[in-house]
Amino acid sequence: MRFQYLLTQTIQGIRRNPLVVASAIVAVLVTLVLVFGAIVVRWSIDQDIGRWDDNVRVIAWLGDVSPDQVFAMQEEINGWPEVDEVVYFSKSQALEEFRELFADQPALIEVVEDDPSVLPDSLRIKPAEAGDYAAIQNRVAVYPGVQQATAAGEEIDALVARSNRMRTFAVGVFVVLGAAALVLIANTIRMAVYARREEISIMRLVGAGNWFIRVPFLLEGLFEGVAGAALAALIVGLGHKPIVQMLSTVADPDSIVVPTQFLLEQSLLVLAFGAATGLLGSALGMWGTLRD
């Protein structure tokens, strides 16, 4: 009976101020759509970085060195902490790779075949972490027997920078709009408390405890927070794919598929945050009005 009464009071409180309640739900919705969306987009960027991680190589083009020197160089570089793997590429292997890469340009292949020296022997060095490519490149460039060290790591730098910006954006949105949602829910509850001030006074006169009075307001704030969070999870879950594909840098954007399990796990966190926001907003709204 007591639970039914508390639930009835909560529903009545929501029905008394539908526009204010709706505005609180929208505040939570906007906050969590942006935060959840930023999390999903950052996940897709991390996947892009992971794909680049597997393909980033520092190429050390070798000069006139003996096989023993190449072996010793390979062994030493492989012992560097920044290095994951070192593979020797001969002129013939480089030429075969060149033929595969430029199969649609037979004239260019013919030029290289006429002068194979343009593709010297090389060491292909895989960094332990993609961000280590610059340190490896600088270190190997001055190594005896190395003519030149090259790397295609600028794309990784751009992706990492974009990921960091997305993280900063998510944190900023979380703080600013999260605070706005808290204030709006607190004001909603404060208005509800004010509207029922006479009823609350009567309940106190007949011996009702403060927590018995507070629970309907807490449930109202909980409803606003969870409702906004559920809508945010639904919107991002159904509408994230076009945004993720648009921001992806892979050749086939359709290959970027956010796992359902990831979305479900993050949705649960979003719901938990919405519930916490609603309860905290309610507590702030009742502060100073319904104190023991």
The mean pLDDT of the chain is 76
Q: What is the pLDDT of residue 1?
A: 45
Q: State how far the Cα of 213 lies from the Cα of 78, in Å rounded to an integer.
A: 70
Do 100 and 135 meet the contact criterion of CB atoms below 8 Å apart? no
Whether residue 68 has pLDDT greater than 70: yes
CA distance 58 to 86: 9
| Contact status, residue 59 vs residue 152, Cβ threshold 8 Å | no
Look up residue 152 and give its DSSP letter: -
Provide the β-strand partners of residue 86: 125
Of 138 and 158, the one with more pLDDT: 138
Q: Tokens 């006429």 label which residue? A: 114
pLDDT per residue as tens digits for the range 198-241: 766 766 676 666 667 777 778 888 888 888 889 988 988 887 77
Unique residue bearing structure tokens 């076009």: 242
